Amino acid sequence: MNLIDNALSPALARGLRAAGFEATHVRELGLAKAADEVLFLLAEREERVIVSADTDFGQILALRASTKPSVLLFRHGAPRLPGAQLSLLLAHLDTLRPILAQGAVVTIEGHRMRVRPLPIQGS
């Protein structure tokens, strides 16, 4: 199940659901203004993957040395339009699903993806 952060459009959650994936935007839960820590705890408790453009979730994972929740980040050079983000996710979600189930931060930057297994360890 995916939890789409407020940094991304609710259209992304709708598109994922239309494609058969479980997805909820934080606005649908009344959590548009919730602190990142609140969203992190919700995703951890409900075994959701956080989909965001906000690097704060990676920082929380590093500070906690957590193995969950997984985070999928759109970063520099990644598509900004919800339709393009949806197309990219749909093209790769089946491949990424087992990686995210194990615990990972997946960063999408332009034409590449980086996968960092959890827990995040010092560089």
Is the pLDDT score of 60 beyond 70?
A: yes
Enter the pTM of the model: 0.94
63-120 pLDDT, tens per residue? 888 899 999 999 988 889 999 999 999 999 999 999 999 999 999 998 899 999 999 8
What is the tally of structural domains in the chain? 1
Q: What is the DSSP string of 31-89?
A: -TT--HHHHHHHHHHTTPEEEES-THHHHHHHHHT---S-EEEE-TTS--SHHHHHHHH
Question: In angstroms, rounded to a whole number, what is the distance separating the alpha carbons of residues 123 and 111?
Answer: 24
Asked, for residue 106, whether it belongs to a domain, the answer is yes
Asked, for residue 122, whether it belongs to a domain, the answer is no
Q: What percent of the chain has pLDDT over 70?
A: 98
CATH number of the domain that residue 92 is part of = 3.40.50
Single-letter residue type at 7 = A
Is the pLDDT score of 122 beyond 70?
A: no
Confidence of residue 25 (pLDDT cuts 50, 70, 90): very high
Asked, for residue 123, whether it belongs to a domain, the answer is no
Is the pLDDT score of 123 beyond 60?
A: no
| Domain encompassing residue 12 | 2-117
Residue 83 CA to its chain's centroid (Å): 16
Mean pLDDT rounded to a whole number for the chain: 93
Which residues have CB under 8 Å from 1's CB, separation 6+?
A: 22, 23, 24, 46, 47, 48, 49
Average pLDDT over residues 40-59: 94
